[in-house]
Amino acid sequence: MTRDTTLQLAASELRPPALVRRLVGMHVGLALGGAVALSLPVPTRGWAVLVCVVLYAAALGLACRGTAWAHVVGFLSIVSVFQVVPDWILHDVLGTLRFPDLGGPRVDDTVPLAMALMWLAPLFLTLLVASSRPAAAAAAAFVIFAGAELLAPTLGLWEPTGDTARLLGVAVYVPPAEAVLGGAAAVGAAAARGRSLGVTVVLAALVSTTYTGALVVSYFLIDVASWRLTF
């Protein structure tokens, strides 16, 4: 059995009604818990968001226990932790991202610690929709993350800053890079199946690094090079 079929096999494991009910229920729970957390006053709000994403990660792992999706959840959790780095770069280097201070711990007083697991839900939904097909994962990630980028400023989680091209309030350079992230996550999750923890961590770091590079290239092409073109 070849390695590139692993996530397709995982998708077939979603057919048992019990697993489907668990996944639907916990994502509804995430939405409700998030709504409650975001309704709290600062600084309690930031701590509540952190608790919410930690509980979600734990519940998702338990819901997928005994299926091939358990491996996917573990891999994407590691990717999500590494995603603090590109967020940090956008804030401190490019100056195109801001995280309102909602309370709770932050990395170098910059990125909320909750962001270390906040990427897990959209990445999991991306692979759930697309299975092991990188092109489909890229398309799914574009749609799912674009929705997140639309909602985030309204919810006060993060917002674009600086002189960047925007559409409906979303920084235009971000969704193409997030599409690359979706494709890379599908490839990385398939490659990491059955590997040691060390190899899995390296592959997760490569996925996050690929996203970081895609962000910088997309930012340069859309917000820097495009203004220098003459016709």
Q: Which of 128, 88, 83 is nearest to 108 (CA)?
A: 88
Tell me the two tokens of residue 23. 């996944």
Q: What is the pLDDT of residues 122-167, one digit of tens each?
A: 999 999 888 768 999 999 999 999 999 999 998 999 999 988 899 9
Those residues whose C-beta lies under 8 Å from the C-beta of residue 134, and which sit 6 or more positions away, are 183, 184, 186, 187
Measured CA to CA, the distance from residue 179 to residue 206 in angstroms comes to 15
pTM over 0.95: no
For the chain, give every domain's residue range.
Answer: 3-228
Render pLDDT for 71-121 as a digit per residue (tens, 0 to 9).
Answer: 999 999 999 999 999 999 999 999 999 999 999 999 988 999 999 999 999
